[in-house]
Structure 1
Amino acid sequence: MTSAQTPTPLRCPTCGAEVAAVDSFCESCGSELTPSADPPTPAADETPISLSRPVTPEAPTDPPAAARPCAECGGVVGADGYCETCGTRAPRERDHYTELPADWVAAVSDRGVRHHRNEDASAIAADAEPNSRAVLVVCDGVSTSQDSDVASLAAARRARDVLVSLRPAGIGPVASRVGALASAIRSAAAQANTAVVDNSTADADSTASCTFVAAVLEGDLIVYGNVGDSRAYWIPDLGGTERAQQLTQDDSVAQVRIESGVARSEAENGPQAHAITKWLGRDSPGFEPRTGSLTVNADGWLLVCSDGLWNYASEADALQQLVGELSPGQPGPAALAQALVDWACEQGGKDNITVALARHTAVAGSQG
């Protein structure tokens, strides 16, 4: 994805969008590119970004990990991340990770096939009791901006922590609960924006920025908000009467074209399709999330994802069919999230892919 930032010398020959020297495809139109530079190789003292502790400008990484076996030959992986026997680079922790705070909530984030690093980030939390409370946050770093991988992870964690600490119950009717949770999501977005600023360089040519989507599931109520084009969906199980829905609405050039009457398939695959009109970061034109809510009465999944997944299945009905095909026997959320990531990689994996899921089980007698 791209945002309206300082132009770079390189542009896609097909659509004119800005591209980096290491890119093998255009993120705006999908055209194949010939990289003019190799992906950056981590310095000898570079270590994976920790997924278990906060990111700060002063200490964004953990100390070197203990020696571990090489996946290729079984040799020892050195502190520089390369096998001391065969020289193969070991995957970084950020390249692929799974979060499983409870057995009904999980997230998987993956580098994908074509990118040299994972600029997506998830941060999730859940109470142990199924159908109680889950918080799902996904941020997608803008690939043309500096330090977007660090900033997106910091933003996702900060937002998650805000939503975990703010547990507004509202007073009386459902509308009060919705209003209280929507306010919490707005606070989370504001704090996430601060985290991006705190973890980016002010004088960079292209300062760090990322998208934001958060959803809270409490019982049968989903409240959500987003900035940019990462999305939340409600995916009921196949066979019921409830329809799958895309909950969020993108802040993107494609969405503007859709609202002007252009067919979704054309808008989402045309020039500048993934150019976003709002984002988190120092140069953001606005980071107030668009919020909404939905009461659900069926078994199904709250799905929050980056465009690395919905690139290949944008319509809610298409995602519902896909989830149905990938989830015979109702696997746990971690297995289903991994299956969705694997499927996106099989379609080309042209972007980083993040999928967060929370399972909703309808109260007996209320299922649609």
Structure 2
Amino acid sequence: MDVAMTSTTRTVCPTCGGPVSDADRYCETCGAELKPATPSTPALDTDTEPTIELNPKAGTAATAAAPGPCRSCGGKVGAEGYCETCGTKAAKPRDHFTEQPAPWVAAVCDRGIRHSRNEDAVAIAAEQEPGSRALLVVCDGVSSSLDSDVASLAAARAARDVLVAGNAQGMGTEASRAAAIVARLNAAADAASEAVLANTSPDSPNPASCTFVAAVLEDGLLVTGVVGDSRAYWFPDGAEAVALTVDDSWAAELIATGVPRHEAENGPQGHAITRWLGKDAPDHTPRTTTLRVQQPGWLLVCSDGLWNYCSEAAPLGDLVRQTAAANGNDPLATSSALVDWANAQGGQDNITVALARL
């Protein structure tokens, strides 16, 4: 199914969360006057973003900086991308990058061991006060397309930017506030989908596509949205771990019929997804979940490169808690250690770990 591109950017009403466009002066849902949006959440720390720029020509990417020293020996990396001392091929900035907009929120995105490129992407934002407001987005590019690495990064950043710009509070009740956040998640998924389309080569036989998962935390209210099989989990201290998302996948459908999780997820179609973002996507409206956070804990948003090796919420929660304790409960160090753990298990896929410590 082809998706028509328009020049109007869809957003949400800051009062009620209803859908509006740049051309609207008043919200058709609640009648509020619409003014140009101003970001209320601190911008992403650009010092930690990968030095990747999206080329105006769809489907291409360019590095913005020369490669650093060789990671193997410290020697000079030549223009062709190989160390002039030991001959090791230099890592690309896209292969491994981190983000940490606030001390309590961080993410690590890594190529893994087996794949030749990193098709995962992450984009996050947060206010400085711990537990106040955080926005975490993870997209996992489908490897059959030549453009999915570029498209997934564009999608994650586009979704994050929509979530940063909107801070609708609803009509004064928690239910209306949750509905406003859901509307923002829908708008973020729309923006991510448009970014994928904008970064798909028109002559590609396999259009770029990716999964999408986003978590919005605002003053104790946690809302997640998912398309595909990237996931979000909530691991409260001293309480039962919670899987916040349900995969759009063949394995999830088998599990729903009673097939054991291990058997379904490790079968021949274990990672076949039934929904995604992209030109040929059947539907990209996120499946959402709302939770009131009432105690300290860890919010995890990740790609299947991590949960491949520990899928169920309880053991994954134990892994995150133990890893965090060994790393001083620091979100960036813990995210990095979890990526290292996944690579130690085989690193068969790209790995993305985004954590918020509440």
TM-score, length basis structure 1: 0.80
Match of 1:58 in 2: 57
Listed as ranges, the matches of 1:1-368 within 5 Å are 51=50, 55-58=54-57, 61-62=61-62, 65-66=65-66, 68-237=68-237, 240=238, 242-328=239-325, 330-360=328-358
Match of 1:366 in 2: none
8 Å CA contact 1:221, 1:295 repeated in 2: yes
- For structure 2, list consecutive stretches of 5 or more residues without a partner in the other structure: 1-48
- Aligned-pair CA distance for 1:55: 2.6
Match of 1:28 in 2: none
8 Å CA contact 1:64, 1:79 repeated in 2: no
Residue identity over aligned pairs, in percent, reads 61
- How many residue pairs were aligned? 308
- For structure 1, list consecutive stretches of 5 or more residues without a partner in the other structure: 1-49, 361-368
User: Could you report, residue by residue, the CA deviation over 1:196-254 in whole angstroms, capped at 9, with x for unpaired residues?
Assistant: 000011221111100000001112111010100000000112xx2x3211101100000
- Aligned-pair CA distance for 1:74: 2.6
User: Could you report, residue by residue, the CA deviation over 1:319-349 in whole angstroms, capped at 9, with x for unpaired residues?
Assistant: 1111122122642100110111111111111
8 Å CA contact 1:227, 1:280 repeated in 2: yes
Match of 1:20 in 2: none
- Aligned-pair CA distance for 1:304: 0.3
CA distance in 2, matches of 1:155, 1:197: 9
SS at the partner of 1:322? helix
Q: Which amino acid letter does the alignment assign opposite residue 337 of structure 2? A: A
Q: Which amino acid letter does the alignment assign opposite residue 357 of structure 2? A: R
Q: Which amino acid letter does the alignment assign opposite residue 319 of structure 1? A: L
8 Å CA contact 1:178, 1:223 repeated in 2: yes
Between 325-334 and 199-208, the greater mean CA deviation after superposition: 325-334
Q: Which amino acid letter does the alignment assign opposite residue 286 of structure 1? A: D
CA distance in 1, matches of 2:52, 2:112: 24
Match of 1:24 in 2: none
SS at the partner of 1:195? helix
User: Could you report, residue by residue, the CA deviation over 1:257-291 in whole angstroms, capped at 9, with x for unpaired residues?
Assistant: 11111111111111200000000000101111101
- Aligned-pair CA distance for 1:67: 5.8
- Aligned-pair CA distance for 1:297: 1.1
8 Å CA contact 2:125, 2:164 repeated in 1: yes
Between 272-281 and 319-328, the greater mean CA deviation after superposition: 319-328
Between 166-175 and 93-102, the greater mean CA deviation after superposition: 166-175
- Aligned-pair CA distance for 1:159: 0.3
CA distance in 1, matches of 2:345, 2:88: 26
Give RMSD over aligned pairs.
1.6
CA distance in 1, matches of 2:56, 2:210: 17
